[in-house]
Amino acid sequence: MEKIDLLSLTYEELENYLVENAEKKFRAKQIFDWLHNKKVDDFDDMTNISKECLQKLKETSYLTSMELVKKQVSNIDETTKYLFKLTDGNFIESVFMKYKFGNSVCISSQIGCHMGCSFCASTVNGLVRNLTAGEMLKQIYIVEKDTNERVSNVVIMGSGEPFENYDNVIKFIKNITNPNGLNIGQRHISVSTCGLVDKIYKFADEKTQVNLAISLHAPNDDIRKQIMPIAKKYSIKEIMEACKYYVKVSNRRVNIEYAMMQGVNDSLKDARELAHVLKGLLCYVNLIPVNEIAENEYKKANMSVVNNFARELDKCGIQTTVRRELGSDIDAACGQLRNKQMEEDR
């Protein structure tokens, strides 16, 4: 019999699992507390659970574990990058960031990625597999333990396309927002997609208050097709229509992520075209100079160019922020640390 991944179960699934194993439903609250608040790594640490029940848990389920193998702390801003080794030998990364409004963790949703965005280190070795909901949660739980600080914001923007791992991401969101667990508000969670239009509609219909971020990175389909293969499947127009639906259903603004690459997408003409595309969408734009990585030739746009681009968008009525570059001294681009580790292992 295949063992159940306990950390990945939603609260309701945990209740059902206990009832199916002839245990009382109320145990779910206690076990959920051990898993998601006390963050135990061992069944025997669940001290208020009867021996009989623990025995059943051990026989039929397992606790997700991962090893913290590397940690890089930025000397500039305390941003901390974590590299974890999973039980199957794969590596994933997460980033801990401190902001005025609280602590944020950016997590990976897949091991690698197969979306093929040409500026991104995560996709260099393709996709290995989806992460389970438990593996996504565990990244946050280990960071909380390691920093001894509470995480108040979660960004699903690390390696992977979250909507390619849709069901597990939904389970993750259910667990991290559960009042019996970490109870992070939905408005403090952001999920980023490269523009899987069908999934944007599906996600809107989940009727959450989660922030939706679109990795747009181009003002038109021609430029987008050069840097993001998904642009061959979905046009910017289709993405915008899906975003408008998301805004209508959720009443939330959409974040437009735009990595600025020198000579690719950073001209004032591009800014005006982007403003035109975004007209009528309740959104704000995050501009960030692209992270330069060894695997490609892209150069980050100069800061003066980025600021002029931002001003042009503002002039056109599009709310824009130039995002702080965090952890620029610690392999900040997602996928970089994992790639280095894989090379070392080879």
Distances (CA, A) of 207 to 202, 211, 232, 236, 341: 9, 11, 28, 23, 39
Minimum Å gap between C-beta 327 and ligand SF4 is 17
Q: Which is nearer to ligand SF4, 39 or 199 (CB)?
A: 199
Residue found by looking up tokens 């295949």 in the block: 2
As measured in angstroms, the least distance from the Cβ of 2 to ligand SF4 is 30
3-state secondary structure of 271: helix
CB 320 → ligand SF4: shortest distance, Å?
Answer: 20
Single-letter amino acid, residue 163: F
Given the complex with ligand SF4, which of 113 and 216 has the nearer CB atom?
Answer: 113
Task: Classify residue 286 as exposed, middle or buried by CB count within 10 Å of its CB (0-12, 13-18, 19+).
Answer: middle
- Nearest CB to ligand SF4, comparing residues 160 and 289: 160
Closest distance between ligand SF4 and the C-beta of residue 235, in Å? Answer: 17
Tell me which residue has tokens 């305390």. 78
Chain Cα centroid distance, residue 41: 23
**Nearest-approach distance from CB 79 to ligand SF4, in angstroms:** 19
Contact indicator for 142, 136 with CB cutoff of 8 Å: no
Answer yes or no: are the C-beta atoms of 79 and 334 closer than 8 Å: no
Q: What are phi and psi of 80, to 5 degrees?
A: -125, 130
Pick the catalytic residue from 53, 106, 113, 334.
334
By C-beta, is 213 or 306 nearer to ligand SF4?
213
193's enclosing H/E stretch is strand 189-193
Query: Which residue type is seen at 273?
Result: E
Cβ closest to ligand SF4, residue 79 vs residue 192 = 192
What is the closest distance, in whole angstroms, from the C-beta atom of residue 164 to ligand SF4 in the complex?
8
Nearest to 115 by CA among 168, 162, 161: 161
Going from the C-alpha of 109 to that of each of 106, 201, 326, the distances in angstroms are 10, 20, 20
Q: Which is nearer to ligand SF4, 158 or 181 (CB)?
A: 158
Q: Smallest distance, Å, CB 246 to ligand SF4?
A: 18
Closer residue to ligand SF4, CB minimum distance, 161 or 221: 161
Catalytic position from the list 15, 23, 93, 135 = 93
316 is catalytic: no
Residue 208 in tokens = 């959450």
| The 3-state secondary structure of 39-86, one letter per residue | CCCCHHHCCCCCHHHHHHHHHHEECCCEEEEEEEECCCCCCEEEEEEE
d(CA 86, CA 340): 16
Contact of 58 with 43, CB cutoff 8 Å: yes
Binding positions for ligand SF4, rule: CB under 6 A: 113, 115, 117, 120, 122-123, 159-161, 194, 215
Task: With CA atoms as reference, report the closest residue to 118 among 199, 194, 169, 191.
Answer: 194
Concerning whether 164 is annotated as a catalytic residue, the answer is: no
Which residues have a catalytic role annotated? 93, 334
